[in-house]
Structure 1
Amino acid sequence: MNAPILERDPSDPTTKKEEVSPLLKLVLELGPLVVFFFANARGEWLASQFPTLAELGGPIFIATGLFMAATAVALIASWLLTRSLPIMPLVSGVVVFVFGALTLYLQDDVFIKMKPTIVNTLFGAILLGGLMFGKSLLGYVFASAFRLDAEGWRKLTFRWGLFFLFLAVVNEVVWRSFSTDTWVAFKVWGIMPITLLFTFSQMPLIMRHSLEEHAGK
């Protein structure tokens, strides 16, 4: 027998939440990264225009401070629009605040560079660790978007777990091997296309294990 699929009861007011348009959701997710990229590229100009920012340090530190602020704005906006905070952006935001604060306080950009490594390793370990205990945790996150059978959730969870660990390794290689500017550009303009390609590559698996697809047949 297939494991029961987690679904929210539309009639339960405690589970209702406002939907955000895909475009606005993309802006909330990419906005802080764009701010980070712009502030790092134009750090000296920002420091000359806003002397307070100069007290943070060089461009990467100004970018870190503004990245933290933009992340906070995105989380607050998400809460105001949906009255909920998705678990992944929330965890990522907490790590941004912790490692960003360490970066500014110690004036060491290693901390902010390690943030993607920590976040992706954490997500990967949680997903793969859940499978070891028979839990396809990805199903708890995306049950409202997809209805898959138990095997589909297991496979998808396993693949995403490995993908998160892959992103952690790639981040380590890039920030340790290239300049700060190259790392920032890759973080903003490289990770998202890679993630989108991986996501689209999983559609055949999702279609094979979709309960709607089986019901239609």
Structure 2
Amino acid sequence: MTDEPRPDRAPARSPPRIDDERRINPVLRQVLELGPPLAFFVAYLWLREETFTIGGTDYDGFIIAAAGFVPLLLLTMGILWKLTGRLSRLQAVTGVLVVVFGGLTVWFNDETFFKMKTTIVYGLFAGVLGLGLLRGQSWLAWVLGEFMPMAQEGWMKLTRRLTLGFGVLAVANEIVWRTMSTDAWVKIETFVFPLVLFLWLWVSIISLQKYVETDDDRPA
């Protein structure tokens, strides 16, 4: 004798999908993601010639701009999480590193920590992706696979290229902040590095289009 299904039993819920992410205006998303670094850039230009005495300690405009950047970034990340219901793993890791190195910058009143933050971020990403490659895995697929389905061979190639890109940017940041003025570093870190990374990612993805899977390519 078999039990007949009970009519009052709720059907099993399917696991959440990326499609369940709440959509927001793309312009608003760009403002939230790009707003903090642009605000830091503007604040630095405005305050770079100023000195502020707080609690008996003198802080230059760079330190004050960096101090304001940290809570602003956390605020925009919180708004983005509230509106979409999720944050990417890259955003979470970057947020933690910004808090740590931004805090060290203010605590020690030394802009070196904030400048090194960019090296640490790029170097960490290169190191993590490189470690995955040594294990024969693409950890980039774990981060971005839900957004862009791709064959394993494509993920491995894209991971190698981004590992190289992050490594080059980490070295470039060290060269820039150690050999150039703070003005030059702020401009390069705000505009040049993100643009180079975006173009490198875009070119890499375009060249690997044959590995991108569509709904027709996935097993039923």
Alignment root-mean-square deviation, CA: 2.6
Aligned residue identity for 2:44: N
Report which of the two has the higher share of helix: 1
1:12 aligns with 2:15: yes
- Equivalent of 2:172 in 163, 170, 173: 170
What is the TM-score when the length of structure 2 is the normalising length?
A: 0.83
Per the alignment, residue 33 of structure 2 pairs with: 29
How many matched pairs? 204
| Aligned-residue offset at 1:24 | 2.5
Per the alignment, residue 43 of structure 1 pairs with: 47
Per the alignment, residue 151 of structure 1 pairs with: 153
1:3-49 per-residue CA deviation (whole Å, 9 max, x = no partner) reads xxxxxxx942476321344323322221110111111111168878x
| Aligned-residue offset at 1:158 | 1.0
Partners of 1:68 and 1:129 lie apart in 2 by 29
Aligned residue identity for 1:207: Q
Bigger Cα displacement from structure 2, 38-47 vs 96-105: 38-47
1:83 aligns with 2:85: yes
The answer for unaligned runs of 5 or more in structure 1 is 1-9
Task: Indicate conservation of the 8 Å contact 2:50/2:60, yes or no.
Answer: no
Aligned residue identity for 1:31: G
Aligned residue identity for 2:116: M
Q: Name the CA shift for 1:46/1:27 in 2 (closer, same or farther; >3 Å).
A: farther
Task: Indicate conservation of the 8 Å contact 1:148/1:206, yes or no.
Answer: no
Bigger Cα displacement from structure 2, 166-175 vs 36-45: 36-45
Which has more radius of gyration?
2
Bigger Cα displacement from structure 2, 122-131 vs 22-31: 22-31
- Equivalent of 2:189 in 180, 187, 191: 187
Mapping 1:49-128, distance limit 5 Å = 57-128=59-130
What is the TM-score when the length of structure 1 is the normalising length?
A: 0.84
| Aligned-residue offset at 1:90 | 1.3
Q: Name the CA shift for 1:150/1:44 in 2 (closer, same or farther; >3 Å).
A: closer
Q: Name the CA shift for 1:44/1:114 in 2 (closer, same or farther; >3 Å).
A: closer
| Aligned-residue offset at 1:117 | 0.4
The answer for unaligned runs of 5 or more in structure 2 is 1-12
Task: Indicate conservation of the 8 Å contact 2:63/2:111, yes or no.
Answer: yes
1:59-101 per-residue CA deviation (whole Å, 9 max, x = no partner) reads 1001101111211111111211122221111111111111111
Partners of 1:45 and 1:170 lie apart in 2 by 26
Partners of 1:28 and 1:197 lie apart in 2 by 21
Q: Which has the higher contact order (CA 8 A, sep 6+)?
A: 1
Task: Indicate conservation of the 8 Å contact 2:49/2:60, yes or no.
Answer: no
Per the alignment, residue 4 of structure 1 pairs with: none
Task: Indicate conservation of the 8 Å contact 1:35/1:66, yes or no.
Answer: no
- Equivalent of 1:200 in 199, 202, 206: 202
